[in-house]
């Protein structure tokens, strides 16, 4: 009992030191396992505000990049539709050339024109991810309705088929920049294409040679205009891709900053753990030595 009283204070101090070393080792081991200085903001002190700001900006950047990628996907679907429209116009022009060579005596021309007319209308009513792409900001209504459309006058533009609006789709690609993209179904390229096809499909009889030639010229103009629109879509797609890439680059940069704020140095941690382990072993050894002391050791 005398020995315990005599060594109690020293033993308490040694125990407290050992517990502090053990707690620090546990903290360092957790950092080593997680790769982070702290598992919560409270352990970062003044750096917590910086970390929160960086994490919020990264989340926002990911949202911008995702939106740009989604918009680029829509643009690519629109471009594919325009490729099909070009193919349809090329086929129609070949039929017109054959009819002109035959002196407009072609009973199948109107049926052919009607088929291409329906195809182009369907392409302009393309839906992707549940939204109509060529209706402007009105994504829930089919933009092209031919039920009341019969453009029999080759020289007069007619967009009565169009049910959408003139507001192009847009997407925020950063906090400072919003991009407009796509094309609406009432664009002159599509109006010309539908007018040329309708002028044959809805004619009372097969038009005469002169009229067919005018329709052929209009078809060529429509084909060129569709190609120009497709070029614009390519620019939109490239711009959206660059915007998404810029956000990804920022995310990589921010990840580096986050690592600087909350990232653990594995090499440094290993050295510190080794030091604390040595201290802890020394503490346990000293405590064992103290606990083994007795009054009889001094009386001998």
Q: What is the pLDDT of residues 156-170, one digit of tens each?
A: 999 999 999 999 999
Does the pLDDT of residue 90 top 50, yes or no?
A: yes
Q: What is the pLDDT of residue 204?
A: 87
Are the CB atoms for 104 and 216 separated by under 8 Å?
A: no
With residue 128 as reference, give the H or E element that holds it: strand 127-128
What pLDDT shows up at residue 1? 41
Tell me, what's the pLDDT at 290? 58
- pLDDT at residue 32 above 90? no
Global pTM reads 0.73
Q: How far is CA 109 from the centre of its chain?
A: 45
pLDDT at 39 over 50: no
Query: How confident is the model at residue 50, as a pLDDT?
Result: 74
Locus of tokens 């031919």: 146
Please tell me the distance from the alpha carbon of residue 222 to that of residue 210, in angstroms, as a whole number. 18
In this prediction, residue 287 carries a pLDDT of 59
What is the tens place of the pLDDT at every residue in 181-232?
A: 999 999 999 999 999 999 999 998 888 999 999 999 999 999 999 999 999 9
Q: What share of the chain is helix, strand, coil (3-state, %, to 5)?
A: 70, 5, 25
Helices within 36-128 (DSSP H only): 47-101, 109-124
**Alpha-carbon 257 to chain mean position:** 23
Residue 138: the pLDDT is 93
DSSP conformational letter for 102:
T
pLDDT bin (cut points 50, 70, 90) of residue 277 is low
CATH class of 70-257: mainly alpha
Indicate whether 9 pLDDT > 60: no
Q: Averaging pLDDT over each range in 39-48, 79-88, 243-252, which range is the top one?
A: 79-88
Q: What is the average pLDDT across 63-74? A: 96
CA dihedral sign, ordered 132, 231, 79, 245? negative
State the Cα–Cα distance between residues 144 and 134, nearest whole angstrom: 9
Per domain, the residue ranges of the chain are 2-35+265-299, 70-257
Q: Is 72 helix (H, G, I), strand (E, B) or coil?
A: helix
Q: What is the overall mean pLDDT for the chain?
A: 82
| Helices first, then strands: H and E counts in the chain | 7, 4
Cβ atoms of residues 227 and 62 within 8 Å: no
Position 260 pLDDT exceeds 90: no
pLDDT at 59: 94
What three-state secondary structure class fits 139?
coil
Sign of the Cα torsion 15, 16, 18, 22 reads positive
Task: List, as one string, the DSSP characters of 263-281.
Answer: B--HHHHHHHHHHHHHHHH
Return the pLDDT at 2.
45
* Residue-level pLDDT at 47: 59
Tokens for 55?
């994490």
Task: Indicate the pLDDT class of residue 107, thresholds 50, 70 and 90.
Answer: confident
Rounded-to-integer distance, Cα 247 and Cα 229, Å: 27
Q: Mean pLDDT across the stretch 132-144?
A: 95
On the question of pLDDT at 61 being above 70, the answer is yes
């Amino acid at each position: 009992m005398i020995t315990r009283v005599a060594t109690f204070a020293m033993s308490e101090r040694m125990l407290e030191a050992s517990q502090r070393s053990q707690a620090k080792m546990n903290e360092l081991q957790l950092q080593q396992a997680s790769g982070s200085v702290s598992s919560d903001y409270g352990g970062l002190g003044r750096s917590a505000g910086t970390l929160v700001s960086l994490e919020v900006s990264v989340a926002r950047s990911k949202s911008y990049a995702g939106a740009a990628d989604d918009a680029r996907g829509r643009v690519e679907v629109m471009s594919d539709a325009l490729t099909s429209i070009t193919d349809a116009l090329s086929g129609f022009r070949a039929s017109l050339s054959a009819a002109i060579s035959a002196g407009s005596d072609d009973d199948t021309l109107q049926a052919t024109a009607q088929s291409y007319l329906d195809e182009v209308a369907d392409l302009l009513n393309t839906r992707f991810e549940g939204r109509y792409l060529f209706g402007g900001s009105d994504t829930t209504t089919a933009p092209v309705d031919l039920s009341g459309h019969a453009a029999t006058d080759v020289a007069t533009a007619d967009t009565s088929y169009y049910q959408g609006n003139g507001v192009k789709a847009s997407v925020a690609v950063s906090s400072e920049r919003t991009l407009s993209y796509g094309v609406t179904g009432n664009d002159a390229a599509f109006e010309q294409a539908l007018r040329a096809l309708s002028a044959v499909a809805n004619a009372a009889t097969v038009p005469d040679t002169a009229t067919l030639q005018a329709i052929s010229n209009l078809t060529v103009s429509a084909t060129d205009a569709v190609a120009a629109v497709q070029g614009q879509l390519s620019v939109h797609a490239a711009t959206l891709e660059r915007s998404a890439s810029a956000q990804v680059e920022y995310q990589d940069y921010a990840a580096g900053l986050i690592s600087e704020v909350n990232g653990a140095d594995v090499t440094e941690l290993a050295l510190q753990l080794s030091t604390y382990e040595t201290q802890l072993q020394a503490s346990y050894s000293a405590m064992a030595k103290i606990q083994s002391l007795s009054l009889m050791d001094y009386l001998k």
